[in-house]
Amino acid sequence: MVMAHAPGRIGYGTETVSIVYRLTSSRQQEQIMSQLQLSLLGTPVVKHGERTLTFSTRKALALLAYLAVEGGMHPRKTLSESFWPELDAEHGRAALRATLFELRKLLERSHGPGERAHLLVERDTLGFDQGSPLVLDLRLVESASKQVGRGIEPLVGQAREALLQQLEQATRQVRGPFLAGFTLRDSQFFDDWTRQQREYWHLRVHQLFDALSMLYERAGDAARAIETVTRWLSFDPLNEEGYRRLMRLRFSQGDRVGALRAYANGRAVLAEQLQIEPEPETVALAKRIRHTAPVRAPQVRSLLPSHASPGQPPANLLDGPFLGRMAEFGTLIECYQRVHAGQPQLVLLLGETGIGKTRLATEFASWAQAQGADVLVGRALQTGRQLPYQPLIDVLRRQLEQEHAPDDLLSDVWLAELSRLLPELRDCYPDLPVPSTDEALGHNRLFEATARLVQVWAGRRPLVLLLDDMQWADTATLDLLLYLARSLAEQPAPVLLLLNLRTGAESCTVAQSTWLMALKRTRIPLTVLELAAFSQEETQRFVQELAWAEQPLEVENTSPLERGSQHGEASLSRDALVAFANWLYFQTRGQPLYLVETLKGLLAREIIVPSLQENGSWGLVLLTGLLAQTPVGELIPASVRELIRFQLARLTQTAWTLLVVGAVLGQGLTFEHLIVVAQLDEQEGLRALEELLRRGLLCEATLVEESQAVDGYAFPREMIREVVYQEAGTTRQRLVQRRVLLVMREEEALLLHPAPDNGNASAETMNGQGRWVAAGTVGADLHRAFAKNSSCATGRKSDAGAGGQTLLADREWGARGHVAPDFPRSPPGRTFQSFFEIR
């Protein structure tokens, strides 16, 4: 008699049980001790509590696995006939009783008093107790598979992260095929059941690895995608789609050798096990990779010493992961998918200097190239005078040099027009006609020739045209791109125009503003992406994913570790790294350029030191004590300082005065505070404030005073305030501080001896400098703000300069509540030491 069963059905109802491993009570501890863990994806492993069970017969393990997977109650007669078909009914039932006795005895060894058994045994039936604690790897896979079946494309944000975690947990359960290598030679029923289950779970696992690697790939996380595909191929080495995805991922990272190695490995496996060649799609992908130069150079974040100078760490230890751009990367992929369907797309990628526009665009361009697109990359240069068509000339020249016969692309008439940009075409084709000498007509024909060439290239395969630093582009380039966009709108072709443009007061000219308006009026679909800085969580992840050492080892007897040991112990704990990341975020506010340059500066000062590990790779060690004793001003990287100085040099004198006042006050900045101390009237102060906001040197903020939210302003990054303070010089610092004291004294006097009409909150009182101050509002606010700041003073002498203040001193003055003669530049309670207090 053969039992009916459904492959892949786990008989525990439709609800998925969530397994929680964190113990919070003794009752949970007892439950774990009696918990049965069945790992069936791979060589079967059974644990009861902390003990791995060993079965004396294969039939006992087979019966337990069958009951756990199928669920429900099963007739004894049916089980004995299925598992012992060679025996008669009486001996079959006896064999079942003996096997059942062994199972119960084995499971009861770990039972405590009052605990439930896992098996339900009745007179004529038996099954698995659905109420007993069970961890079954198939449950996790089945639950994740159902989630994937509902669709992964619409998921964003926390839902997407939750799915990623669920898929990670499920795929980590996979050690191999269902019951790998386990058979019952004397039970055809069980082997047939195992084979059906194996096929079912193979498809489910394939689905999970496919979805997980795709999610990572579309999030721009190539490293995790590669690791996932590698595990996928380990599970299913005959999966050609896995090899193709690995090839594309390797190639997108600039690793052409690794991509071709993946192809060779897959080809060898197919030849050895199936005696077949790879599919034509796989062969074509390998051929294209072999003959295409990758957009980006390979990035290796942890190199062995053999790849670097002897005894020297590699230069790229601080190369951070590509993160914080999942949504933008996904949007670019969606745009490319529409391009692949034949619809042109225009994407404007905006952001301030160093925000990561080029990194995002390069990662996407590499991905698109791996998908089969032709990628053309150009960059506008900042020059003393405009160079007409400079970024496009570079792109066209490189691409045409790869063409065997450019005259097959365009007729001689249009090649002649292109020779205006590329005169070398006439060397190859001296018989080309002479272009028109009419300037207006010549420009029109040149634009049309370029548009036709782009159309021809896009006719072969999707085309991505990436132009970086478009804020430096000349007017002629802008006009040609506008013509190209209009041409693509009228004659759609699979072209993606990706233009990187820096934002800021100095970045966009009037001509570029007009061009952007005209570009947005074209009928080509437009997507605008403006990048923001990393969040605090993203900054933490960025820091944690650097190549931190697991164990610090000395390279030489005079290693930086020894030199730094007198200033504090090396810190390797993850808690310390989180604290360090929080401090970095406070200083940089997650601005990628500031973040990376600060890390490089710490490496140069040997606050972060390279350490050679036991496995031969290099890691990083953080010396927290040395960092705590380093003056704040010395931690600002030279490149960041110069960038900020460049911005400051373009300020008007009034705006500079207002900014210095803000740097001295440090916090609690309101319009009234700033103009009173700066001795500016409202109109002057308003113009200066608008200039600072426009240039990104101040930003709007919400302040809380006496439990009420008020509009205020703040420095977008602590480093900007530090540089402003230093650039102001000690003399100007003292003058501003003296002015603050004067205003405070005047307001204190006004509060102690109010004027007869002081009941009017808007009454105006003339101060000593001829400026009007609202007696009932500004004075009280100033007094509260300055008093608050003074109570948290940093303890730096007014003439010590920024370089004299250390983070350690900052904490000491704040802890004592000392009222310093000057005013603080660091917000209270945000010192380096406080970040390292592990609570």
What CATH number does residue 128 fall under? 1.10.10.10
The pLDDT of residue 562 is 46
Query: Does 502 fall in a domain?
Result: yes
Instruction: Assign residue 434 the CATH number of its domain.
Output: 3.40.50.300
The 8-class DSSP code of residue 18 comes to P
Query: Does 588 fall in a domain?
Result: yes
Last residue of a domain, one of 286, 307, 328: 307
**Percent of residues, the chain, with pLDDT higher than 90:** 44
The pLDDT of residue 786 is 47
Residue 202 has pLDDT above 90, yes or no: yes
The pLDDT of residue 451 is 94
> For the chain, what is the radius of gyration of the CA atoms?
35
- Kindly state whether residues 474 and 365 are assigned to the same domain: yes
The string of pLDDT tens digits covering residues 705-736 is: 666 777 889 998 889 999 999 999 999 999 99
Residue 146 has pLDDT above 50, yes or no: yes
Taking the CA atoms of residue 725, residue 730, residue 733 and residue 737 in that order, the dihedral angle to the nearest 10 degrees is 140
The pLDDT of residue 23 is 33
Query: Does 332 fall in a domain?
Result: no
667 confidence band (pLDDT: 50, 70, 90): confident
Please name every residue paired with 700 in a beta bridge, in sequence order, or none if there are none.
Answer: 713
- Kindly state whether residues 356 and 300 are assigned to the same domain: no
The string of pLDDT tens digits covering residues 760-780 is: 433 343 333 333 333 344 445
Residue 628 has pLDDT above 70, yes or no: yes
Query: Does 19 fall in a domain?
Result: no
* Cα–Cα distance measured from residue 795 to residue 774, given in angstroms and rounded to the nearest whole number: 31
Amino acid symbol at 229: V
The pLDDT of residue 403 is 81
Query: Does 522 fall in a domain?
Result: yes
241 confidence band (pLDDT: 50, 70, 90): very high
Query: Does 313 fall in a domain?
Result: no
Taking the CA atoms of residue 160, residue 161, residue 165 and residue 171 in that order, the dihedral angle to the nearest 10 degrees is 40
Tell me the average pLDDT across 617-637. 81
* Cα–Cα distance measured from residue 823 to residue 745, given in angstroms and rounded to the nearest whole number: 15
Which range among 126-130, 349-353, 571-575, 782-786 shows the weakest confidence by mean pLDDT? 782-786
* Cα–Cα distance measured from residue 674 to residue 105, given in angstroms and rounded to the nearest whole number: 81
- Kindly state whether residues 55 and 129 are assigned to the same domain: yes
Of 106, 101, 375, nearest to 254 (Cα)? Answer: 375
111 confidence band (pLDDT: 50, 70, 90): low
Structural domain count, the chain: 5
Q: What is the DSSP string of 673-693?
A: HHHHHHT--HHHHHHHHHHHH
Residue 464 has pLDDT above 70, yes or no: yes
Residues present in the chain in total = 839
Last residue of a domain, one of 598, 630, 662: 630
- Kindly state whether residues 675 and 817 are assigned to the same domain: yes
The pLDDT of residue 243 is 97
Higher-pLDDT residue of 486 and 434 is 486
395 confidence band (pLDDT: 50, 70, 90): very high
- Kindly state whether residues 165 and 109 are assigned to the same domain: no
Expressed as residue numbers, the domain containing 813 is 650-835
* Cα–Cα distance measured from residue 515 to residue 35, given in angstroms and rounded to the nearest whole number: 68
- Kindly state whether residues 594 and 503 are assigned to the same domain: no
- Kindly state whether residues 39 and 172 are assigned to the same domain: no
Which range among 26-35, 242-251, 435-444, 802-811 shows the weakest confidence by mean pLDDT? 802-811
- Kindly state whether residues 155 and 257 are assigned to the same domain: yes
Highest mean pLDDT out of 307-321, 449-463, 821-835:
449-463
The string of pLDDT tens digits covering residues 205-239 is: 999 999 999 999 988 889 899 999 999 999 999 99
Measured CA angle at 56 (ends 51, 58), to 5 deg: 105
Highest mean pLDDT out of 135-139, 442-446, 663-667:
135-139
Last residue of a domain, one of 530, 562, 580: 530
The pLDDT of residue 753 is 67
- Non-local (6+) Cβ contacts of 336 within 8 A are 345, 364, 368, 371, 373, 462, 464, 496
- Kindly state whether residues 156 and 275 are assigned to the same domain: yes
The rounded mean pLDDT for the chain is 80
The pLDDT of residue 710 is 75
The pLDDT of residue 198 is 96
- Kindly state whether residues 165 and 289 are assigned to the same domain: yes
* Cα–Cα distance measured from residue 62 to residue 152, given in angstroms and rounded to the nearest whole number: 36
- Kindly state whether residues 697 and 817 are assigned to the same domain: yes
Instruction: Assign residue 303 the CATH number of its domain.
Output: 1.25.40.10
Of 342, 339, 246, nearest to 285 (Cα)? Answer: 246
- Kindly state whether residues 590 and 717 are assigned to the same domain: no
7 confidence band (pLDDT: 50, 70, 90): low
The pLDDT of residue 252 is 92
Query: Does 764 fall in a domain?
Result: yes
Query: Does 9 fall in a domain?
Result: no
